[in-house]
């Protein structure tokens, strides 16, 4: 089912583990000062997008801490009551299992072919104790289908990979193409009817 009204997909601001290039997945680290400034910029840009919009807007977020903190900052920028955010566990990041908290350098010591193996099979590859792209795709597709069926403008604050999968589903991409989509923290995306527009924050 195609989106007939915009869906905005935003990634959380920069975190301490982002700066250290550590895998976060279902674990968490706090926003950096830069990450909080990114969230404020997202809020200003989202506010301009929503200014003058008619009809309701639904605000969804991943329940992980970095997404919640980003959403709260965005909400303050647009004058949104904190209680209007709805947590949806299907929006959490891809689970990296035993790799969470590790850098790629750490991972390559114990799994030297990990990145090559993942790129070779992005749909089915599973980090030890983690989640496959196929599993993430299934939960993301369910969210997207519900939003499309509702016909209600929606804002999502989530994560890099899970957000890319939502975008890829809207664009009709396969797992390999989704794997390489950019995952910015200084821009977000407006999804509508099988296309997307990149909105730079400022």
- Split the chain (202 residues) into runs of 10 and give each run's mean pLDDT: 94 97 95 98 97 95 98 97 96 96 91 87 91 96 98 98 97 92 97 97 90
Residue 67: alpha-carbon gap to chain centroid: 9
What is the three-class DSSP state of 72?
helix
So what's the pLDDT on residue 106?
92
So what's the pLDDT on residue 157?
98
Distances (CA, A) of 64 to 38, 69, 90, 159, 172: 18, 9, 11, 9, 27
The per-type count for the chain, helices as H runs and strands as E runs, is 8, 6
So what's the pLDDT on residue 96?
95
Whether residue 93 lies in the annotated active site: yes
Phi, psi of 44 (to 5 degrees): -65, -45
Contact (Cβ atoms closer than 8 angstroms) between residue 14 and residue 84: no
So what's the pLDDT on residue 50?
96
DSSP 82: G
- Point out the catalytic residue in the list 49, 69, 93, 100: 93
Which value, to the nearest 10 degrees, does the dihedral of the CA atoms of residues 157, 162, 167, 168 take? 180
91 half-sphere exposure, CB direction, 13 A CA radius: 28
Question: CA-CA distance, 58 to 46, in Å (whole number)?
Answer: 13
Token pair of 67 as six digits: 């997404």
So what's the pLDDT on residue 159?
98
């Amino acid at each position: 089912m195609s989106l007939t009204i915009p869906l905005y997909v935003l990634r959380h601001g920069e975190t301490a583990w982002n700066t250290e290039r550590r895998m976060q997945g279902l674990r968490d680290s706090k926003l950096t000062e830069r990450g909080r400034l990114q969230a404020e910029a997202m809020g200003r840009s989202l506010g301009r997008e929503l200014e003058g919009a008619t009809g309701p807007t639904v605000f969804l977020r991943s329940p992980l801490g970095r997404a919640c903190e980003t959403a709260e900052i965005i909400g303050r920028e647009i004058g949104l009551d904190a209680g209007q955010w709805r947590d949806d566990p299907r929006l959490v990041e891809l689970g990296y299992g035993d790799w969470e908290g590790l850098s790629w350098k750490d991972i390559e010591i114990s799994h030297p072919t990990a990145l090559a193996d993942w790129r070779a099979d992005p749909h089915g590859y599973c980090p030890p104790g983690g989640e496959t792209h196929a599993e993430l795709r299934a939960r993301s597709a369910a969210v997207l289908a519900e939003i499309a069926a509702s016909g209600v403008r929606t804002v999502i604050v989530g994560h890099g990979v899970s957000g890319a999968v939502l975008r890829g589903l809207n664009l009709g991409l396969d797992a390999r193409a989704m794997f390489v989509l950019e995952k910015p923290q200084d821009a977000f995306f407006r999804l509508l009817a099988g296309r997307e527009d990149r909105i730079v924050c400022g």
